[in-house]
Structure 1
């Protein structure tokens, strides 16, 4: 089932990106999030994130299934998918953006990636400070940013509001390979 969904996501992105020699793909990117609370910290990691990088257009597209996040406790997974993200209704999150002032020949650079992030059916424009490394024609992108829960219309019952942080810390890492490999 995951292979079929990954294939469908890839086909979706290919309609927006014509395959060229300066396109790269990360089939197993990593996104994690952390939320500090007084009761118990909440953290999860998703190692099944698909991303395409178009060096010529300076564009990046990312897609991930929300149910692919792994939590330390099964109950956290259940609450995340059923009560907060509502993964049956909003099964994936997407980001489409542009790297500002990107120089494909630089070995290491820190740039702003500006784009639209869609989570829980809500799309917000965000800027993400990103480290980009170029090593022998392959790219690695990494960074972190914070999201506000309220920006994505995620409802938290008042009784639990003190147990869930208002701001979530997100980390990401993508290792890209030539699209043709």
Structure 2
């Protein structure tokens, strides 16, 4: 097991704990301010994914560069990876695929297979969740013209995204181990 997946397991707990806090506050009707916990849970779940990808690439490249660590080539590649990861803010399927192809020579999205998911469905789902994360981060409350506004993410959706990200990491980890 990689250090990256161990770190991910710690990070995803934040999203799970936010969901648990939402459930604890969820009366009938839930308090209006409880919705923020679901948005924060979405952000934390996808941040755990982003961190996993970054950590996994760094960890894999450390192994690949072991023989040339400290040399001009080793330092060049390490600096380039560091720069690329600083710009890796929305870890959608295309950006993730590009980074793994460029640095490890594998299309990691080909390994995104688990029950009820094939690579295309997994890519579509990831891209959708990343889009929602952007909305949660940049638009805390939708504009309201007097009518009640639907919540950005429902409780069952948050549970679903947490489960999805956990499966995505598991599939990615298995694929990277087998193919690098």
Please indicate the TM-score interval, normalised by the length of the shorter structure. Answer: under 0.3
Instruction: Name the TM-score, length of structure 1 as normaliser.
Output: 0.26
Greater relative contact order (CA < 8 Å, ≥ 6 in sequence) = 2
Instruction: Name the TM-score, length of structure 2 as normaliser.
Output: 0.26
Larger radius of gyration: 2
- Larger fraction in helix: 2
